[in-house]
Amino acid sequence: MGAFVDNEHNWGATGTDAGKTMIGMVALNSNPTQPAKVAFLQQLRTKYGNIGALNNAWGTTYGSFAQLEPANAWGSTIGNSAFVNDCSTFLRAFSKRYYTTIKGALGRAGYRGLYLGSRLMSEFAPMEVI
């Protein structure tokens, strides 16, 4: 026996920049203590090392990483290809953490069947999630 947990999450549209960036933009626009935002900013700090490198890649002019911390720091504009790629990397990590967390909770609750993930409509799930 197996079980799905959750149903047809909106991960973003398959094969589009909007699909790859939706979760990242929501995280960047969240409150400073929101765990996804904290994780995404850490990913960016680790990858780029300094704000100048991030600005160079994204075509932005932030004075520091701290300027990305307030709520609504990004807005709704899809950035350039480096931004899309960074959001794609974050989406992959976010979805992995999401499914790993649920699998762990099922195990702690004593569930011994197959965990099949969540039901996805393939046309609405980016490859980073599948």
Rounded to two decimals, the pTM is 0.88
Per-residue model confidence as pLDDT tens digits over 32-41:
999 999 999 9
Range 31-36, long-range pairs (CB < 8 A, 24+ positions)? 31/71, 32/69, 32/70, 32/71, 36/94
User: What pLDDT digit, counting tens, does each position of 33-66 carry?
Assistant: 999 999 999 999 999 999 999 999 999 999 999 9
Distance CA 126, CA 88 (A): 9
